[in-house]
Structure 1
Amino acid sequence: MTLDLPMIWAALIAFAVLAYVVLDGFDLGVGILFPFMRKEAERDEAMNSVAPVWDGNETWLVLGGGGLLAVFPLAYSIIMSALYAPIIVMLLALVFRGVAFEFRWRTKRGQFLWDWAFAFGSTMAGFAQGVALGALVQGIPVANRAYAGGWWDWLTPFSLLTGVALVIGYALLGATWLIYKAEGEVQRRAYAIAFLAAPATLLLIGAVSLWTPFLSPVYADRWFAWPQVALVVPVPLAVLGMGLLLMLSLQARREAAPFLASLGLFVLCFVGLGISFFPYMVPHSVTIRDAAAPDNSLAFLLVGAAVLVPMILAYTAYAYWVFRGKVNASGGYH
């Protein structure tokens, strides 16, 4: 049996991107919520909740971006050319955020500056990711296997909407993570924020979903034409069900369920994105097979991925297991 290497690698890249979004999403969300933490002890507790895992979470971004370059070089060249500005903003914001994460512990006099830098870097990183996603969804013009658009094509009302939606979604993830990991005043504040962020996220998911079919006839056919509609309608129904579960779990003041439901919303949105994109790597110009490197290169790299991905999963799981308890302002777990 011959392996379908382009499809295997497309699945691996998709998994890496999803892992990055759901894992780094909540610690970006904690940074986005930093201005709402009024006391230094509250900010310390919020930051300590992600301190053991935040840099490991970004491993998936490296794997997704590096894997795209290695196995889908045509798609990488087109996407980078089209989205150079928001991707550079995202990377600079992540660097700025990482520096702020370390430096705020080293100074008292200038700590408030690094607190705002942490919040600004987290917010800008999330917004830039959302803008890049929106620009990719709305389509990238391609001619002769190269980007054929202009410098500002990524900046549209739709991409700005997706940027705002992702920031609010990350804030929801951050709030529900703090509900799960924190206690006392930080947890109470996280509940209050989540009660606002949850309906806002659901409304923005609905707005983006309703706008998307009008961007391309391909999207409209994928979601509304018969018989495809019968196959894809469970996804929006599942989103509604997950949203209801999220709101009920917040109302019942549960701790783990809101975070799991928020993750479920992101996974379902990612599934919907996959339904819209497949079989394109660059909608709607370059397919997965057209963008793939030669099979011998894919096979060689797959051997490395077969070793590397389980290792990343293992140390990620171990880190979360070791730091599985509640956190306090001093960095202790119990």
Structure 2
Amino acid sequence: MAIDLTLAWALLLAFAVFTYVVLDGFDLGLGILYPFFPKKQDRDLMMNSVAPVWDGNETWLVLGGGGLFAAFPLAYAIILPATYPLIVAMLLALIFRGVAFEFRWRAGRPFSAWVWDGAFIGGSTLAALCQGMILGTLLQGIEVEGRAYAGGWWDWLTPFTLLCGVSVVAGYALLGACWLNIKTEGGIQARARVAARVAGLATVAGIVGVSAATPFLETAYFERWLAWPGILEVAIVPVLVAALTLWLARALTSGKGPDWLPMLLALGLFLLCFAGLGVSMWPYVIPPAVTLQDAAAPESSQMFMFVGAVVLVPIILAYTAYAYWVFRGKLDPDEGYH
């Protein structure tokens, strides 16, 4: 049976991006929540909860960017010039955040600790904001002439991209709060559940806002989501979003059920958002100008790289799963993991 390598690479990259959101989303979310946990003991506990895994989470960002360059070079060549300011800001934010993560433990003076805490908060928030705005830029459409970006330096800055950016910040904060709910006990866990409820409301508001605006960005989006009878096929996505939202609200307010349930439901919301993004954009990689087939590398190149990906991705998944398994369970403020 012949394999459609272009489709296979598209699915692989979508998987890499979603895995990055799943794993690094709660990691960035802790930095976003930092201002709401001012006590040093609480902040130490928050950092310790991700210390064994945080840098490995970003492997998937490298895989996504490298895979886009390798499998869809035309898309890479257009998307980067359209979002250079956002990409540079995101990378700098991740660098400052990573440095702050290590240097904070060495800060001997209160002012130094304050500086590195600020870098951790700012880096986490800015990285999440830029990621959402990059998504918004891609979704609202990029001006293309021939095989090159033809827009301006500031085309990425619109109310819609800002809405997407703020929504991602809220979503990552929700994931971070749900992570703390899993890893902590006592007072900090109670505060994490409160933070999760607030971030959950903001996340759902962002989902509603982006979903309401998207059909009016492009005619194709409108026809895909609102035209009859196609609306009957895609209605399952908002229905499931509503159901998961109610379930998540109940899980966070009742205090019943396993601690991992809110995280699972929050990830379900993210997965449905990805599904909605696929409904809107398919088969374009750069709406409405460049399809996946237009942007794909030669088949021989795709096959060569796909063989490597088939070998490497399971290895990455295995060592990632092993790391999370080793450091499973609750985190004790004095003794580390139980």
TM-score range with shorter-chain normalisation? over 0.9
Equivalent residue, structure 1, for 2:42: 42
The answer for the alignment partner of 1:120 in structure 2 is 122
Q: Where does residue 29 of structure 2 map in the other structure?
A: 29
Aligned residue number for residue 219 of structure 1: 221
Indicate whether 1:166 and 2:168 are aligned: yes
2-structure distance, mates of 1:132, 1:38: 31
Contact 1:19 1:60 in 2 (8 A): yes
Name the residue aligned to 1:297.
301
Residues 1:179 and 2:167 are matched in the alignment: no
Q: Name whichever of 119-128 and 182-191 sits farther off.
A: 182-191
Q: Cα deviation per residue 1:106-162 (whole Å; 9 max; x = unaligned)?
A: 123111211111011000000011111111110001111110100000000000111
Match of 1:154 in 2: 156
Identify the residue that residue 8 of structure 1 maps to in structure 2: 8
Higher relative contact order (CA 8 A, sep 6+): 1
Q: Residue in 2 aligned with 1:18?
A: 18
The CA deviation string for residues 250-306 of structure 1, in whole angstroms up to 9 with x for no partner, is: 012242111111111111101100111110011111000110000000000011001
Secondary structure, counterpart of 1:149 in structure 2: coil
Letter in 1 for 2:138: L
TM-score, normalised to structure 2, is: 0.97
Cα distance in 2 for residues equivalent to 1:267 and 1:181? 23
The alignment covers a number of residue pairs equal to: 334
Q: Is the 8 A contact 1:28 1:170 kept in 2?
A: yes
**Aligned CA distance change for structure 1 residues 239 and 9 (closer, same or farther; 3 Å):** same
Shift of 1:330: 4.3
Q: State how far apart, in whole Å, the 2-side matches of 1:189 and 1:27 are.
A: 17
Tell me, what secondary structure is at the counterpart of 2:151? coil
Distance 2:158 2:240 in 1: 29
SS across alignment from 1:152: coil
Letter of the 1:43 counterpart:
R
2: CA distance, partners of 1:331 / 1:61: 32
How far did 1:227 drift?
2.7
CA distance in 1: counterparts of 2:22 and 2:161, whole angstroms:
20
What letter matches 1:180 in structure 2? I
In structure 1, how many angstroms separate the alpha carbons of the residues matched to 2:192 and 2:156?
33
Q: Distance in 2 between matches of 1:43 and 1:52?
A: 16
| Number of the residue aligned with 1:85 | 85
Q: 2:329 is matched with which residue?
A: 325
- In 2, the alpha carbon distance for the partners of 1:93 and 1:80 equals 17
Q: For structure 2, list consecutive stretches of 5 or more residues without a partner in the other structure.
A: none
CA contact (8 A) 1:45 1:330 kept: no
Tell me which of 318, 321, 332 is aligned to 1:314: 318
* Counterparts of 1:245 and 1:224, CA distance in 2: 26
**Residue 267 (structure 1) aligned to one of 267, 271, 276:** 271
Q: Could you say what secondary structure the match of 1:33 adopts?
A: helix
User: What amino acid is aligned across from residue 235 of structure 2 in structure 1?
Assistant: V
| Identity in percent | 61
* TM alignment of 1:236-247, pairs within 5 A: 236-247=238-249
1:73 maps to a residue whose letter is P
**CA deviation profile, 1:84-123 (whole Å, cap 9, x unmatched):** 1101100110011000000001123111211111011000
Partner Cα distance (1:94, 1:200) in 2: 24
The aligned amino acid for 1:311 is: I
Match of 1:111 among 85, 110, 113: 113
DSSP-derived class of the 1:281 partner: strand
Note if contact 1:132-1:154 (Cα within 8 Å) is conserved in structure 2.
yes
Cα 1:80–1:22 shift into 2, 3 Å: same
SS at match of 2:333: coil
Q: Say whether 1:288 aligns with 2:292.
A: yes
Task: Please give the alpha-carbon distance, in whole angstroms, between the structure 2 residues aligned to 1:309 and 1:198.
Answer: 31
Partners of 1:48 and 1:331 within 8 A in 2: no
Moved over 6 A (4+): none
What is the DSSP-based 3-state SS (H/G/I as helix, E as strand, rest coil) of the residue aligned with 1:105? Answer: helix
Are 1:45 and 1:331, in contact at CA under 8 Å, matched by a contact in 2? no
The equivalent of 2:282 in structure 1 is 278
For residues 71 and 334 of structure 2, what CA distance do their matches in structure 1 show? 44
